[in-house]
Structure 1
């Protein structure tokens, strides 16, 4: 499966109207650095299917605030997501989702909070 670590890069400097950068590090468990990743097992798919993952950030009121499609071809990959902050100050709840377009049961979900200063 995939291990995920995330960090808000500029967490101390979040201001109204600015943006937050979320750095996500994804690692494939039990994968050697030189291993080639083949196509997924999909016998009913019309052609060969390569594995893809989606990183999605959901914001207040179920708003979609960031999305990125990635492939994890190496043992670990770092991805940066920029989240635009609104004009209101306060503490806001967000959710980071990792979703597979090829496998069931591998999706992950992480809650985090951003404190926006005026």
Structure 2
């Protein structure tokens, strides 16, 4: 590998890291999407599936001690810089988490679901979604 100018041991280290770098599939569902009323609870079910093998600890040779992978699931409103729901977790092979928050006033609201690593750069996920909230007065 003259192009990379790495010896065999260095190439082996690169391959080891790449095989364990987190590859997470994310899907989500708004559980009560058809019946969202102002001041009710909005429930978002998030499914996470790790595609590759999980390492015993984070692969970070310059980190001073062993460290476990940590992840944050966050629902935010980027227009107001507000966090609506947050949960810290460790991703196994498969995880299912429900995040919830209070529905705002009536109308359409745009949010972002984030999955962020507290160890690795570049493997974060971001999903935009919208919800339509009805005011209780309009329900009659």
TM-score normalized with structure 1 length: 0.89
Between the two proteins, the alignment pairs up a number of residues equal to: 112
Q: CA deviation at 1:69?
A: 0.4
Q: 2:98 aligns with which of 67, 75, 80?
A: 80
Q: Which has the larger radius of gyration?
A: 2
Q: CA deviation at 1:19?
A: 1.3
Higher RCO structure, 1 or 2 (CA under 8 Å, sep 6+): 1
Moved over 3 A (4+): none
Separation in structure 1 between the aligned mates of residue 52 and residue 123 of structure 2, nearest angstrom? 15
Runs of at least 5 residues in structure 1 that lack an aligned partner in the other structure: none
Q: Which structure: greater strand fraction?
A: 1
**What is the aligned partner in structure 1 of residue 81 from structure 2?**
62
Separation in structure 2 between the aligned mates of residue 17 and residue 80 of structure 1, nearest angstrom? 18
Q: CA deviation at 1:30?
A: 3.3
Runs of at least 5 residues in structure 2 that lack an aligned partner in the other structure: 1-22, 136-140
Q: 1:20 aligns with which of 21, 33, 42?
A: 42
**What is the aligned partner in structure 1 of residue 26 from structure 2?**
4
**What is the aligned partner in structure 1 of residue 16 from structure 2?**
none
Separation in structure 1 between the aligned mates of residue 97 and residue 55 of structure 2, nearest angstrom? 19
Q: Which structure: greater helix fraction?
A: 2
- Deviations for 1:86-114, whole angstroms, at most 9, x for unmatched residues? 2x200000000010011111001000001
